[in-house]
Chains A and B, each alone.
Chain A
C-alpha cells in the first residue's frame, strides 16, 4: 500500500482538501453528520499555525469565518440542515460584501432537526434560494470521498477567484462513509489565491471591479482601510441609496457567476452517446445510479447518466443538448423533487421527465432506479 492510499471518511477528506487549498481558519458549531469536519479542523489547524474556534451557534460560526476571511485567511464553516438554515443570513452578507468563504452542508433528513443521522438531499433548493434577494450562488456536490477532497479544493479556489461564498453540498452517506482514496500530492494541485490590490492604500477603492467583475481584495490590517456592509454600497464600500448604483451592484454580483459559468461549471457523463434513458443524478444517489446503469446495460437497456458536479450554476446547456437525443430522463432524488424542477425547465420541452423521490431517510437503492426505468421504458 503506497503512502498516499488510505481508507478515509468523506468528512475527513473535506478537511484534508480544505487544508491543501490553504484553509487556516475554521469556525463553526458542530452538528451531526458534519461533526468530524469540526473535530479534525480543531486537531489539524493549530499544528499548521491556523486557528479553530467553536462559536456559540451556527450564525456565529459563519460570522467568524467571514471576519477572518477579511484579514486574508482562507476560511470554512461546516454544518447540516438546521445550521444551514441559520447561516443563510450571513451567506447573503458574504455575497453582497464579496467575502470568500466556504460553507459545507452535510445534508440530513429535515425539516427542522429531522433525523440527525440519516441522509437527505433536501437542501438543494435552499442552497440556491435560501438567502433573500438576488445573489450569486456556486454550489458543488461530491459523490465520493476522493471527489469530496477535490471539490473542497475547488470550492476554496472559486471563493477566492470570484470573492463569493461557495457551498459544498455533501450528504450523510458521503460524509460518513469510508473508502479507499489516493490523494494527490500538493504539487499536483492548482491553488488560487484572491487578487489583492496593487495600488497604494490611499488610492484603493474596495468595490471597484476589474474586467472579470471581481474587485481586488485587501487584507484588513495591512493599511488598506475600508468599510464593509450588508447594505447596498458604492465603490468605496459606503452605503448608497442611488437606484443606479443598486442596479449595477446586484447585476454585477450575479454576473460574476453567470458570465463566468464556463469556468465554473463541471459535470460528468457516462454512456450518454447511445442512451435511450439518462439518469440525472448527484451526490450519494449517483452511486446507486451507476450500479443501476451497469446492471441495465448488461441486459441491453441503453442507459446513460448525467451527473452535475456544479449544481449551481446549473449545467443547463449540456443537459439541453442531451435531452434532444433521449426518450426519457429519470431523476432520482432523496427529496420530494428539487433539482428535477431545473431538469423540467431545461429538458421538459425536449423529452419526458420521470421523478423518483424518497424521503424515508434511506439512500435510494439501485433496484429502485432499475424498477423505475423498466416501468417507464
Chain B
C-alpha cells in the first residue's frame, strides 16, 4: 500500500505528539515521505488531543490527515471524538480500557497499552512508546528496526533501555492481538 493516514489520539500529556514525530521519522529512515501535524488548543492538556502522520512512497502535497486508515485511541473520550474520522474497514487500535459499541466497521485491536506502561514497566511516560510498538506491530507501516532507530534518536539519554523494553512489549502485544 502506497499511502497511510494515521491519527494518534488520547489525552494531553500522553506523549502523542512525540509519538507522531517518531513514527514520521521512522518512515523517513526507511526512505519514505512523511508529514506530521498536530492540534493544539484548549484541549492540549487533559482533554482529547491528537497527532497526525501521513506516510507515503510518493510526494505528500496536502499535509493534513482527513479520513484516516489507522486510528489509535488511548482514551474513551478521544475514541468518541475521532472514530468517525476512521474509514470503514480501517484499523482501530485501542487501549483495552476503551469500550466500543457493537457493529462498527473497523478492524479492532484492543490491547493493554496503558496498563503495560504503568503496571509492568512502572513508567506511565512510556505509554506512547508501548503504543508505537503496538501500532507498528499490528499495521507494519514501518519496519520494527526503523521504529527502534527513530525512538532511540528522540528519547532522552539514559532512557534507551526502558524505551527499548517498552517497544518490545508493544510488539509482543501486537503479536498476541494478531493471534500469533
Contact = CB atoms under 8 A, between A and B. Distances in A.
A209 interface: no
B102 interface: no
B85 to A, nearest CB: 13
Contacts of B40: 32, 116-117
Nearest to B53: A178
Interface of A: 1, 5-7, 32, 116-118, 173, 176-180, 284, 287-288, 290-291, 294, 363, 365-366
A180 B28 contact: yes
A7 B21 CA distance: 8
A177 B36 contact: yes
A290 B63 CA distance: 11
Contacts of A7: 21, 24-25, 28, 34, 36
B134 interface: no
A180 B36 CA distance: 10
B38 A287 contact: no
A179 B29 contact: no
A281 to B, nearest CB: 11
A118 to B, nearest CB: 8
A6 to B, nearest CB: 8
B61 A178 contact: no
Most buried by B among A1, A5, A284, A366: A1
A117 B31 CA distance: 31
B37 interface: yes
Interface in B20-77: 21, 24-25, 28-29, 31, 33-41, 60-64, 66
A32 B31 CA distance: 32
Contacts, number: 58
B61 to A, nearest CB: 4
Contacts of A117: 39-41
A177 B17 CA distance: 11
Nearest to A144: B63
Closest 10 pairs (CB-CB, A-B): A117-B40, A290-B61, A291-B62, A178-B36, A291-B61, A179-B35, A7-B25, A177-B37, A180-B28, A1-B29
A177 B39 CA distance: 10
A180 B24 CA distance: 9
B149 to A, nearest CB: 9
B21 A177 contact: no
A366 B62 contact: yes
A365 B31 contact: no
B35 A178 contact: yes
A179 B28 CA distance: 9
Contacts of A5: 28
A86 B66 CA distance: 36
Contacts of B64: 173, 363, 365
Most buried by B among A7, A177, A288: A7
A173 B63 contact: yes
Given A7-B24, A117-B40, A177 B62 contact: no
18 contacts: A1-B29, A5-B28, A7-B36, A116-B40, A117-B39, A117-B41, A118-B41, A173-B37, A173-B64, A177-B63, A178-B24, A178-B35, A179-B24, A179-B63, A287-B62, A288-B61, A290-B62, A365-B64
A117 B29 CA distance: 29
B66 A179 contact: no
A194 B39 CA distance: 41
A287 B29 CA distance: 24
Contacts of A284: 63
A175 to B, nearest CB: 11
B43 to A, nearest CB: 10
Nearest to A290: B61
Most buried by B among A177, A178, A288: A178
A32 B25 CA distance: 24
Nearest to B30: A1
A179 B34 contact: yes
Nearest to B37: A177
Contacts of A32: 40
